[in-house]
Structure 1
Amino acid sequence: MSPRLDEPRTHNATSACPQGLTESDSPAAAVLDGTRNRTTSSGSDTSSSDDDNSTEGVTGLEGLPEIPPYAEVGPLDARALSKTLFARLESLEEGSHEYSYVRNTLVELNLALVKFAASRFRSRSEPMEDIIQVGTIGLIKAIDRFELSRGVEFPTFAMPTIIGEIKRFFRDTSWSVRVPRRLQELRLDLAKAGDELAQQLDRSPTVGELADRLGITHDEVVEGMAASNAYTASSLDAKPEEDDNEGALADRIGYEDHGLEGIEYVESLKPLIASLPGRDRTILSLRFVANMTQSEIGEELGISQMHVSRLLSRTLVKLRKGLTLEE
């Protein structure tokens, strides 16, 4: 059924949790409470949910439309209901029971946005319910930041925040460089063993101590430690923690100097140029050192531009052959 926006709220208004879910089972409630409860679906309503979210006798919620079961609310109806709830949310005191009720209802009404955004990442290895959980955090952030006065539809405003939160989740929990599963598991074992030994020894364990604890070789410990560097990528603009006076990493990494390639050719050309006739050396100097045109060279030497072109071409061919023979 479609919600009636002009119908005042009655004493038997629907709970802020979807039909068939307790409040603690709701994805929104799981995020708001800081838990990671699994979203379940059962075929019967729970009376505790209705009791916890009942607005009978609560001031500040009079005149709100009755919220039907969320499964029956279409996108257009959810958008219209959200506008009404956002308008009421602005008049309520943050932290009050009324404020929490309206905010939670907005989350439940717009969970379809999270599921749509999460579906774009279904090919990832992470469980879909984890992605939805993270996306719900983005939805809550969008609800807290949204203002009706901006004149923007809430789905348009919320979607970048939801997707951004999901992408941040993958960025923070994914390996920067792909490494074998064996090394990923070894990294976790080393981290656990390192923490345990550090507590026992009151210092950082050595490679040998880690190897003895895990029953592996020294080389395997070193390999696992190296794999840890692939988990997070460091920025080239980041400065080293141990010395703030040092520049960024990018300033200390060598770069390819293409000018060095020319030095080798210059040194190889010197004896070849020295063996050329005097006029050919003069033409080369006027063309490539003085940057004169062929016409200007012709005037300087008293010959035609065409003659200069032929002499220059012949000289360059001779030099190329000489370089090829040396290589």
Structure 2
Amino acid sequence: MRQSSPLPARTDLDRRQELRDQRAAEIEQLLRLGAEAGTQRRASYQDRAVELGLPMAHTLAARYRQRGVDGEDLEQVACVGLVKAVRGYRPGPETDFRSYAVPTIRGELRKHFRDRAWMVRPPRRIQDLQTAINAVEGELAARLQRWPTTDDLAEAIGVPAEEILDAQRAQGCFRPVSLDARLRSAPDLTLENVISGDTDTYALVEHVETLRPVVDKLPERDRLILRRRFVDHRTQAEIGAEIGVSQMQVSRLLRQIMLVLRSALTA
């Protein structure tokens, strides 16, 4: 008698997805019951649906973290979007609340970035492009199994790569970095150390001339890393994908290169 192969073990991811599906089904049932109930009873159903939908709202808010906006603010905005979705949902034969709620919550988050989060407001074209980048970046990363490059984003959105770079350079407009902030690529340096002032032109020229022979003597890969990071404004992830190393390794290499250059300036 042929034995059947054992079923694969359920993973934590499977269990989390099952829990999300169960929660979505319960919310759907509550909202369908509420649609047929009186005003007071409907409000009770909707309040319970909001409670069950909070994990979904928090998950969507988490995808917009590390972009210059406080995490608690993002969660509050996502919850507002959830409440709007619950209040505005109209159950039908072929409707699904989750499919309605996700774009509603995302829309509230993107609106918050567009209208409230800018400390230095760039042109509307740049704002809209950043919104488009935020919308496709995570999906591209999941599909490509790596962080998308500038060219990947440009192709997905349908704009030239130069416009993607412009939008990425303006990311700090949400929350400008302090001049005392340490550089990731060179923790011994602050942002103030690498920004030239109006009165130090001669010193800047002297530094460039001092570093030129030092850079020329660097290994070819180190020179490429320098060019990609400080001339082409590529991210560490993009550089790592090009030279075949991890983002962490690129950060370590940049730190070592910057130490060599700084030693040449202080010698």
TM over 0.5: no
Q: TM-score, normalised by structure 1?
A: 0.31
Bigger radius of gyration? 1
Q: State the structure with bigger RCO (CA 8 A, min sep 6), 1 or 2.
A: 2
